[in-house]
């Protein structure tokens, strides 16, 4: 079982309804923390939900860094793993992460079973969340809330810091999701 097999199963079994919803955006390979890490799939609607795939052929070598990065920005995270990784994943990822297990069915198809449902992340980092925005998007939000004075010509880090200081976490979460859903010109894979 390879990554592509699990992705196709997710498309058929999980993402189909999201792709049909005009208020939901599904992004493959969304960079977080300035591209330091990429989540396999991000579902953006009323929450920001990251989905990470660890197929039977994958290793868990990068999971520590991914876990740390995703826990800073996503409202929910689900890891979809091959059965051989289940015990390590259960003991490693935060308790609020959901876990789905991907197994090969009797006729070669991939079956996804829910091992643990995702819960809401209570420890988002506002500055890391703001870093999902492009600079012009972040400045536009600051302008809207009258907080852009003194940072218009600053670097992205200063702008993200200002956003995290000026907006409540709930308002910032809404703004980030709205910007991601409205964004045009996503990179092509």
What was the pLDDT predicted at 188? Answer: 41
- Select from 133, 185, 177 the least CA-distant residue to 159: 133
pLDDT digits (tens, 9 = 90+) for 107-130: 878 999 999 999 999 999 999 999
Q: Is 132 a member of any domain? A: yes
pLDDT digits (tens, 9 = 90+) for 9-34: 898 888 888 888 889 999 999 999 98
Range of the domain at 11: 3-116
Domain end position, chosen among 91, 116, 141: 116
| CATH number of the structural domain spanning residue 25 | 3.40.1350
- How far, in Å, CA of 9 to CA of 159, rounded? 39
What are the φ and ψ backbone dihedral angles of 11, each rounded to 5 degrees? -60, -45
Residue 87 shares a structural domain with residue 156: no
Residue 103, pLDDT > 60, answer: yes
Residue 96 shares a structural domain with residue 166: no
Residue range 167-181: average pLDDT?
A: 96
Residue 71 shares a structural domain with residue 162: no
Residue 182, pLDDT > 90, answer: yes
How many structural domains are present in the chain? 2
Residue 51 shares a structural domain with residue 106: yes
Domain end position, chosen among 84, 116, 148: 116
Residue range 2-7: average pLDDT?
A: 86
Q: Is 164 a member of any domain? A: yes
- How far, in Å, CA of 8 to CA of 136, rounded? 34
pLDDT digits (tens, 9 = 90+) for 36-86: 899 999 999 999 999 999 988 899 999 999 999 999 999 999 999 999 999
Residue 132 shares a structural domain with residue 178: yes
Q: Is 121 a member of any domain? A: no
What was the pLDDT predicted at 187? Answer: 54
What are the φ and ψ backbone dihedral angles of 93, each rounded to 5 degrees? -75, 155
């Amino acid at each position: 079982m390879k990554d592509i097999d699990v992705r196709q199963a997710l498309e058929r079994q999980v993402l189909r309804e999201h792709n049909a919803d005009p208020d939901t955006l599904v992004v493959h390979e969304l960079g977080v923390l300035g591209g330091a890490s990429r989540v396999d799939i991000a579902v953006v609607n009323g929450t920001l939900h990251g989905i990470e795939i660890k197929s039977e052929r994958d290793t868990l070598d990068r999971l520590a860094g991914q876990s740390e990065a995703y826990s800073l920005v996503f409202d929910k995270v689900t890891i979809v793993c091959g059965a051989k990784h289940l015990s390590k994943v259960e003991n490693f990822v935060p308790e609020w992460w959901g876990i789905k297990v991907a197994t090969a069915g009797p006729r070669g198809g991939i079956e996804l079973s829910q091992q643990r449902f995702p819960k809401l992340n209570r420890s988002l980092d506002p500055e890391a969340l703001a870093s999902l925005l492009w600079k012009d998007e972040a400045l536009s939000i600051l302008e809207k809330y009258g907080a852009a004075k003194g940072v218009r010509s600053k670097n992205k880090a200063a702008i993200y810091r200002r956003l995290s200081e000026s907006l409540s976490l709930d308002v910032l979460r809404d703004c980030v999701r709205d910007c991601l859903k409205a964004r045009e010109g996503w990179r092509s894979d």
